Structure 1
Amino acid sequence: MIRKMSTAQPLKKLVSCVILDLDGTLLNTGWKESFSVIIGGDEVRLGKPSPEIFLEVAKRLNVDPSSCLVIEDSLPGVTAGRAAGMEVVAVPSIPKQPHLYTLADEVINSLLDLRPEKWGLPPFQDWIKDTLPLEPWHIGGPVVKGFGRGSKVLGIPTANLSTEGYGSLLSEHPSGVYFGWAGLSKRGVFKMVMSIGWNPYFNNTEKTIEPWLLHNFDEDFYGEELRLIIVGYIRPEANFSSLQSLIEKIHHDRKVAEEALDLPLFSKYKDDPYLKSST
């Protein structure tokens, strides 16, 4: 939970309280000093959706509940926060079910999409040219056939990767639009923008990995080994009112990725040996 303060306050004091619902493991990870108040579910009589634990937090912080912002992933937690008279941002733990969180003041896809300035808090300073730098992560495999939408419907040919063997990675990284570098074993290294998720406009039933290599190729390269280094995040996945608006947004993502990848912060990964490996 966050106590809303003046924007003159340092960002490290942004989060004032953490509520522990489970075993308190967080206390052993070096985060303890980051919070003004830490409270466990065993310190109140009633658990969520009762507002008791949030009201106890406000009491310990010596602030009015209305000056607090709750960030919750569960429906009982959202209900509890609202019942406490606090504003609530929901980060749903249930995939593709944001409509269930109607009590929240805002529903976001992941904490990557939290914008504190919307709530009178100091903005994060991490964003650079509409991108959020990430600790680089890697993924690779042979290029496979997708749904046939990229070239035929969107005019945007993607080099799809199979999700087989990447279940834990897909659950670890929120759905959204990312960017980085792509290495093809026989062709070289290219800029890349990529979606991970369900593509709401097409209502996929499975989470997919769909990189768009920002280069005009003369032929398909199905089966060729593709290596990716993902270095940044652009936006959450979203639904669109029309196919044209979707296409325009994808091309805007391309522009953002291309410009960002020219920055030294991101361009240095172009020479990563992982991209040039053929195994």
Structure 2
Amino acid sequence: MALASNSPRESIEAKISYHDGWKNSFSVILGGDEVRTGKPFPEIFLEAAKRLNVDHSSCLVIEDSLPGVAAGKAAGMEVIAVPSLPKQSHLYTAADEVINSLLDLHLEKWGLPPFEDWVEGTLPIDPWCIGGPVIKGFGRGSKVLGIPTANLSTEGYSDLLMEHPAGVYFGWAGLSARGVYKMVMSIGWNPYFNNKEKTIEPWLLHDFNEDFYGEELRLVIVGYIRPEANFPSLESLVAKIHEDGRIAERALDLPLYSSHKNDPYLRST
């Protein structure tokens, strides 16, 4: 594996020194000041392949910039684009695949050994907590979707929302005076409802007969299921949401995830 960046070699070395083990992960590190022409020209990728002692046509490039995608394709390589900014996928048409984040990188699609950390259709992540009063009761989608969704305020969580890509997550939900429940949660713009800003919309995997507007809801998110997606119809959206629920229901019974049900944060008052 090689790291080929337009940044000067000294800058690359300085940046990766802050991440334990990163430097040793790369057999080759190549800076923009070590080639005559950087991206979007192909030289940096061709030189990286040469130093790896592999044929350029067998290389897979993972890029976040348009010049990088152009350079990879010009080098005769397959390219996966992970856009740096959200909602920019339409600009990356030259790439062979565009993914929302590295959480959605599946190497087996490219003839490489798959990552081994996926479990029952879910990806374990470092647990993180979020909470606050339910601001829209069952949520505006509840009556349409027929499921007890809730909306949490995004106020105060801008840094956290920037850190975590839009998509579908799952974990445990603690409702004050009610208990702890299995939960699926979307972070994103909810394309069906055409949201202008990111939202936090948990779905509690439990039958509720009454609203819980204004109640304190605390979440411990433990895993990831899939990226945000558009759906051609309401029926297909509902079907996918229920599929997400079934995946989360099964996964949360595994010891890997079930232990987090006892997190003190869920029962804090």
- TM category, shorter: over 0.9
Q: How many residues align?
A: 263
Of the three residues 27, 31, 36, the one matched with 1:40 is 31
Q: Which runs of 5+ in 2 are unaligned?
A: none
Identity of aligned pairs, percent? 77
Q: Is the 8 A contact 2:128 2:221 kept in 1?
A: yes
Over 6 Å off, 4+ runs = none
CA RMSD of aligned residues (A): 1.4
Of the three residues 85, 90, 105, the one matched with 2:81 is 90
Q: Is the 8 A contact 2:131 2:152 kept in 1?
A: yes
TM-aligned CA deviation for residue 45 of structure 1:
2.1
Q: Is the 8 A contact 2:132 2:217 kept in 1?
A: yes
SS of the equivalent of 1:123 reads coil
Q: Is the 8 A contact 2:139 2:150 kept in 1?
A: no
Deviations, residues 153-197 of structure 1 (Å, cap 9, x unaligned): 211231111111111111100111100000112211000000001
SS of the equivalent of 1:216 reads coil
Per the alignment, residue 165 of structure 1 pairs with 156
Of the three residues 175, 178, 193, the one matched with 1:187 is 178
Per the alignment, residue 18 of structure 1 pairs with 3
Matches within 5 A, 1:47-66: 47-66=38-57
Deviations, residues 192-238 of structure 1 (Å, cap 9, x unaligned): 00000112233321111100011122221222111100000111111
> What is the rounded CA distance, in whole Å, between the counterparts of 1:27 and 1:43 in structure 2?
19
Q: Which runs of 5+ in 1 are unaligned?
A: 1-15
> What is the rounded CA distance, in whole Å, between the counterparts of 1:271 and 1:119 in structure 2?
40
Q: Is the 8 A contact 2:167 2:187 kept in 1?
A: yes
Of the three residues 143, 146, 151, the one matched with 1:152 is 143
SS of the equivalent of 2:147 reads coil
1:130 has 2:115 as partner: no
Of the three residues 240, 247, 250, the one matched with 2:231 is 240
SS of the equivalent of 1:230 reads strand
TM-aligned CA deviation for residue 247 of structure 1:
0.3
